[in-house]
Structure formats: structure tokens, C-alpha cells
Amino acid sequence: MTQHLSTLNRERRFLVLLGVICLSLIGGALYMQVVLGEAPCPLCILQRYALLLIAVFAFIGAAMPGRRSLTVCEGLVVASAIGGIIAAGNHVYILANPMVSCGIDTLQPIVDDLPLAKVWPLAFQVDGFCSTPYPPILGLSLAQWALVAFVLTAILVPLGILRNRRRR
């Protein structure tokens, strides 16, 4: 029983860390937007939504008392990460093939109609184009870094579940 609680506590600590990392990434994106003047495109905003959902589900999961509810939240974290992989992967593709983007992003009205765009427009409203290249950070574009983060989340969360549940 004690080892069971220990493995669940390890999962909860990991989820809290994951949530903090995701919120930090959103904070970094806001810094780049507000301070450095890098306008977010529709895919950037969708990646912010994915990071926010991962953080919310991670924090809720960390607060859940039982294994089953914790696992459900971890599943929602992975589903959100997969959504982020799709958005970031598409963004990486557009940056590698700028001719794919017509300059007018068709996603803008859809993303700008999402609820958070109305509640917190600074963070969740589109202001740029997906094909705009920004200076890389440590050799990778922001979209590539986001893709790495989403892929790691989608892989590490299920691996952690499997590892912890096998020990039981």
C-alpha cells in the first residue's frame, strides 16, 4: 500500500512539474510577443491552448485522490499533447515550406472566435502569420521547440504510467 501511494505521489509531482513547465512556456511566448514584438499566428495560439489544457489537466490530475481519476487526467494530458503535436507539426511544415501559406491565415477567424480570445485577447488573439520566420533559439524555431515539448509530453506521460503501474 505504501509503495502504491509512493508511485501515485511520483505521478502527481511529475504532473505538477509538467503544469508549471507548460505555464512557463506560455509566459515565454507572451514575453516574446509583448517585449520582443513577435506577433502570434493562429497555429501559435492553438499551441498555447494545447499548453494551457495540458497544464489544467495536469494540475487537476495531481489533485485527484484515486488512481483511476489520475489516469483519466493523464489521458487528457496526452490527448492535449497530441493536439499540440498536430498544431506545432503543421507550423513546422509551413515554416519549412513558406509557399504553403497564402499570407492570409484561414484559421484566424476561427481561433479569434474561441472563448479565451475574447476573455484574454493579448494572449489568445491572432496577430501574425504562420509563415513569418522569427530568429531561432538554440538553432530551433519556436514551432520546433513546441513540437519537441508536445512529443516529449505524449511519450513521457504514458511511460510514467506504465512504469509506475508495473511496480504495483
Better pLDDT: 37 or 52: 52
Residue 5 has pLDDT above 60, yes or no: no
Better pLDDT: 105 or 42: 42
The average pLDDT across 146-159 equals 95
Better pLDDT: 120 or 148: 148
| pLDDT tens digits, 85-127 | 999 999 999 989 877 765 567 778 888 888 988 888 889 988 8
Q: What is the DSSP secondary structure assignment for residue 138, as one 8-state letter? A: T
Distance of CA 155 to CAs 75, 129, 144, Å? Answer: 12, 30, 16
For the chain, strand residue ranges (E) read: none
pLDDT of residue 103: 56
Given the candidates 1.20.200.10, 2.60.120.380, 3.40.470.10, 1.20.1550.10, the CATH classification of the domain at 2-167 is 1.20.1550.10
Domain map (residue ranges) of the chain: 2-167
| pLDDT tens digits, 125-147 | 888 888 888 888 899 988 999 99
| pLDDT tens digits, 46-95 | 999 999 999 999 999 999 988 889 999 999 999 999 999 999 999 999 98
Q: What is the residue whose three cell numbers read 509512493?
A: 6
The average pLDDT across 15-41 equals 93
Residue 165 has pLDDT above 90, yes or no: no
What predicted TM-score, i.e. pTM, was given to this entire model? 0.89
Better pLDDT: 86 or 37: 86
**Alpha-carbon gap, residue 40 to 119, rounded angstroms:** 17
